[in-house]
Amino acid sequence: MRRLTVALTLLATLAGGSLAASHASSAERDTPAAHRGTNILVVGIDSRAGLSAAEKRRLHVGGKGCNCTDVMMLVHLSEGMRRASIVSIPRDSYVPYADPAAPPAAPGPARSGKINGAFAIGGGPLSIRTVEKATGLHIDHYLETGFTGFEQAVDNLGGATVCTDKSLKDDGSGLDIGAGVHRTDGNTTLRYVRARHVNRPGDLGRVRRQQRTVNDLLARLTAEGSLSGPLNTARTARALLKSVRTDDRTGLDDLVRIGWALGRMRPENIEFATVPIRLFDHRVPGVGSTLVWHEARSAALWEALAADRRLTGDRRIQPVPQTPVETNPGSIAVRVDDATVAAALRRSGFVVTDTSQPAPAQRPAGPAVISHGPGREADAATLAAALPGARIQPVADHDAFLDVAVGTEPPAVKTVTYDRNTAEGAPAPADTLRCPGTR
């Protein structure tokens, strides 16, 4: 089975589609003297060109493609090929474009836009130079594919493993799966990695699902011995060249070297991350809603890759708050029967209703009790982090609020910190991103 083809194609597509036609030329790019490790830019193109109406319906990819990059991952292989850092660059990242007519060293014009739009202007070459300009890193190799190969690739692998702690339904991608761990075919996996309108909404949640899917597939390739030895890797690398376009610096020998290196890596030496974001809805006239990178943290990420260092555990990239939570207190409506506790929770960002009603005559013994309805487990955990020792009590017919009954042991309310980057894109080793029960 042509497993390396599938693995790297999945890195490049992660949304399903047909092979894009442009070819990235990088002959003019010189490798910096201080360059360490190997950087590979992998992109998937949003194009419906060549798809029949029946294929669009089956894949649930109606609408008009933008001829832009829908998925962008920067894969850094360390010097010596013992570690890999796979960094997702969200498609709506607002960055300055490189000058289409100038060499990479030129400063370029002030024109900026979503990073996925560079491809529409100048194809693969401008996408490469724009990433180099935005990150300060040199791109050694470039892989490009489109949408339609994803479904077939996953089916050729015998399916994928996806997991979710709650039901996911998204009309845009056609996704509709229940909570739990699932073995999915190519069509369902395509919908899983394309969904943008599920909890959590937006690109960061989608990117993390893409990372988890790639992680599982790479783990399976390794476990099945598909990347063991240069001969097996060479066979599948030849097939890769039929499915994925490369720049003129990337040949069969490079693909063999990359594939064999990935096959030999231990899970703890593969990590996934997403560029840290400061503004999640930066409105730009003529461009729309964009994402603005966190200046200090994204700079630390690119500096770490340039220095060939791990991303996981680097607190310049991902500071560790004293009390981190995974859901936003500003979206959690709370009722509290104690005015002092209510005021403290408001200061921590929770949406607390009026507490003018009198306190109950008899309070429950011990710590506070948090009552919540179905599907609110994560929000209840966030509220409990602000109320140390609180007991969580699910109630089948509970309404949309979370109720706090203060007990005979009044809580010392803690300030909690919600950071979407921490919750959805913090650097993480591959073995921590796998579905429960998978290796």
User: What's the CATH number where 247 sits?
Assistant: 3.40.630.190
Same domain membership, residue 342 and residue 309: no
Do both 100 and 14 map to the same domain? yes
pLDDT of residue 22: 38
Any domain includes 331:
yes
Query: In DSSP terms, which residues pair with 374 in a beta bridge?
Result: none
Same domain, 105 and 76: yes
pLDDT in tens, the chain (439 residues): 444 545 555 555 443 333 333 344 443 455 554 678 999 999 887 777 777 888 788 878 777 777 888 889 999 999 988 999 999 999 999 999 998 776 554 554 558 999 999 999 999 999 999 999 999 999 999 988 766 667 766 776 677 888 888 889 988 889 999 989 998 988 898 889 888 888 666 788 889 988 998 888 778 777 766 666 677 666 656 655 555 677 778 776 777 787 778 778 888 999 999 999 999 999 999 999 999 999 999 999 999 999 999 999 999 998 887 888 989 999 999 999 898 999 999 999 999 987 656 677 788 899 999 999 998 999 999 999 999 999 999 999 999 999 999 999 988 899 999 988 887 888 999 989 888 766 5
The residue count of the chain comes to 439
> Shortest CA distance to 300 belongs to which of 312, 292, 288?
312
Contact 255, 230 (CB under 8 A): no
Whether pTM > 0.85 for this model: the answer is no
Q: Does any domain span residue 20?
A: yes
The DSSP code sequence of 201-238 is -SHHHHHHHHHHHHHHHHHHHHHTTTT-SHHHHHHHHH
Same domain, 427 and 355: no
Q: Are residues 383 and 276 part of one domain?
A: no
Q: Which amino acid is at 430?
A: A
On whether both 351 and 280 belong to a single domain, the answer is: no
Q: Is residue 439 part of a domain?
A: no
Task: Determine how many CB atoms are found less than 10 A away from the CB of residue 358.
Answer: 7
Closest listed residue to residue 57, CA positions, set 198, 230, 187: 187
How far, in Å, CA of 311 to CA of 301, rounded? 7
Inter-residue contact 423 to 332 (CB < 8 Å): no
Q: Among candidates 155, 196, 130, which has minimal Cα distance to 9?
A: 155
Kind of pairing between the strands at 324-325 and 333-336:
unpaired
Contact 430, 267 (CB under 8 A): yes
C-alpha–C-alpha distance, residues 375 and 398, integer Å = 11
Number of domains in the chain: 2
Same domain? For 62 and 119 the reply is yes
Neighbours of 20 (CB within 10 A): 25
Domain hosting residue 131, numbered range = 3-320+423-432
Q: Are residues 118 and 22 in the same domain?
A: yes
| Residue 89 near residue 74 (C-beta atoms within 8 A) | yes
Q: Which helix (H) or strand (E) holds 181?
A: strand 180-184
Confidence (pLDDT) at 106: 52
Residue 50 is predicted with a pLDDT of: 74
> Does residue 122 lie in a domain region?
yes
Please indicate, yes or no, if residue 336 is contained in any of the structural domains. yes
